[in-house]
Amino acid sequence: MIEAEGLVKSFGRTRALQGVDLAVPQGTVLGVLGPNGAGKTTAVRILSTLLVPDAGTARINGLDVVRQAERVRQSIGLTGQYASVDEDLTGRQNLELFGTLLELGRAGARRRAAELLDWFDLAAAANRPAKTYSGGMRRRLDLAASLVGSPDVIFLDEPTTGLDPAKREDMWDVVRSLVTNGATVLLTTQYLEEADALADAITVIDHGRVIAHDTPDGLKRIVGGQTLEVRPTDPAQLAPTAAILSRVGSGAPADEIRRGVLAVPVADDSALTESVARLAAAGIAVTELSLHLPSLDEVFFTLTGRTAADDDTTRTEVAA
Amino acid sequence: MSTLTGTPPRTGPTLSTVVAQPRPLRLLRHSLALAKRSLIKTWRTPEALIDVTLQPVLFLVIFVYVFGGAVAGSTHDYLQYLLPGILAQTIATGCIAIGVNLNTDIAKGIFDRFRSLPVPRSAPLVGAVFGDVVRYVIVTVSTLAIGYLLGFRVESGPVQALAGCLLAVLFALCLSWLPVYVGMKVRTPGAVQGVMFALIMPLSFASNVFVAAGTLPGWMQAVVTVNPLTHLVTAMRGLFLGTPVGNHVWWTLLWCAGFVAVFMPLALRAYRRRV
């Protein structure tokens, strides 16, 4: 269980957090969504005892992250842009080192390392230095390293940034099985899609403040839900396709968003199967048909009236 | 990752036992575990030892065969005089690497991982210092081996010679808290190298490493006399050659204690602020 109230943290003149509340009930996943520089990583570093907040309090399983930091560290696992592994050590040596530091004993550390290497499909690469690992293997080793002590609260700081879509879904599977096993997870991400796939609740942070907190469905209702995109094989079929989409969708289909592609807002996933059935019945062949969540940019635009990219530039100017 | 269908293994520690242990013991054990990490790194990158193994060879050959005749009348006499000094100088410059390495490490994030674990905060630094003992032993052995090839002979006895080597390694271990401190304070690895070189170079030349203090002008003699390297070198000469040691061993140990007492707390404080 993670609880944080009124977290404030400044670095010089940069106000990274300006009063952030977060709550993650036991056994659930909170997605913390925000652009670069929103304060996501600062919040994770405070909750994982790496930083002391200027004001506010935070508790992990009821233990204060400042006054009871030592005990908090026994029940958390941290994976992210910053918490890393030793590149000169092999995968196995890394995991055994963390096992020793977590008081598993020599045999215990060895057994735990073997289990995790197996589970993360790293057994074949176990005796190679971590610097020879591919991006996906590195992430898996990072995550394995944070699970050595079987923590029940896990922080994942942008766990899939820079991974290709297939690797991203692998990582999602890992997170899902951790939660099935009873872990409480706080996940930061820049992808609404990722938060939607994994989180029970989503907190949106901007400029060090919480600007929205809701379930994924609730958030999607605010920002307009999903969009169905269709590309008919024959461009001459655009008009009849648009007619079908207007019946399936929850609004009027937009004109071609890209050359030959139509888009329509839809209420839920069932629109996908329904449109496939109707297009087939009408004999319209399609080369592309997909559901899209609004991008982070669109979420931000709806919530703040600015785009996330604008936000980045302002921050850089402030920092400079 | 087809293997990921099952649940993750959760045979974790019973964590309540962890807190029960006395702090100093945990610090020692965790530091040793982290020292092993430094050892593996040294083992994996033997080329990082080149500077400390090559430097004494160059200095010995150049100084003995270029200056030996002029300074001491014979190259052999000068080799006997110079070797303990070169060993001290090499071990002092060998310390610089630890500051550079830690400075590089901190930028990489592995220290954040350590700090998110229930590990005493100072363990990563103490571990790195312990781990470097092996480097210093390698430096000492290789310098003595080269010396022997060139004709250096121990004139005291094996026990005294061993004591001299141990004194040198202990000195390096204590002095290394200075580069660790610099490594925490300075921003880039290159800057650590620069600052440390500027400190160690004058220290090794304004000493009796190369020439006896008696030949120097008065003000310089004053500097040389208080220089910790002078005490170390005089003590080692005595232990290797059987000449009088005086209280130079004690002075050396006092300096060692001083380095630890001053720079270890400074380094630990700088580390806590830095990360």
Predicted-assembly ipTM surpassing the 0.95 threshold: no
**Residue found by looking up tokens 């590309």 in the block:** A231
Q: Where are the domains of chain B?
A: 25-274
Residue A285 burial (CB < 10 Å; 0-12/13-18/19+)?
exposed
Question: How far from the centroid of its chain's Cα atoms is residue B80's Cα?
Answer: 23
The pLDDT tens digits of the residues spanning A7-47 come to 999 998 889 999 999 999 999 999 999 888 889 999 999 99
Instruction: List the single residue in A74, A97, A151 with the smallest CB-CB distance to B33.
Output: A97
Domains of chain A: 2-221 (3.40.50.300), 226-292 (3.30.70)
Q: Per residue in A86-121, is it b (16+ CB within 10 Å) or e — as a string?
A: bebbbbbbbbbbbbbbbbbeeebbbbbbbbbbebbb
In terms of pLDDT, which residue wins out, B262 or A238? B262
Q: pTM of the predicted model, to two decimals?
A: 0.79
Q: Is the pLDDT of residue A246 over 90?
A: no
Report the chain A residue with the minimal C-alpha distance to residue B29: A101
Mean pLDDT calculated for residue range B65-84: 85
Mutate to test the interface with A, among B3, B43, B113, B271 (most CBs of A within 10 A): B113
* Confidence tier at B8 by pLDDT (50, 70, 90): low
The pLDDT tens digits of the residues spanning A157-193 come to 988 887 888 888 888 988 998 898 889 999 999 888 8
- The answer to whether B13 contacts A102, with C-beta atoms less than 8 Å apart, is yes
Report the chain B residue with the minimal C-alpha distance to residue A44: B116
CA distance, residue A45 to nearest chain B CA (Å) = 9
The pLDDT tens digits of the residues spanning B132-149 come to 999 899 999 999 999 999
Lowest-pLDDT range of A26-30, B13-17, B220-224: B13-17
CA distance, residue B196 to nearest chain A CA (Å) = 25
Residue A23 has, within 13 A of its CA and on its CB side, a CA count of 6
Q: Which amino acid is at A185?
A: V
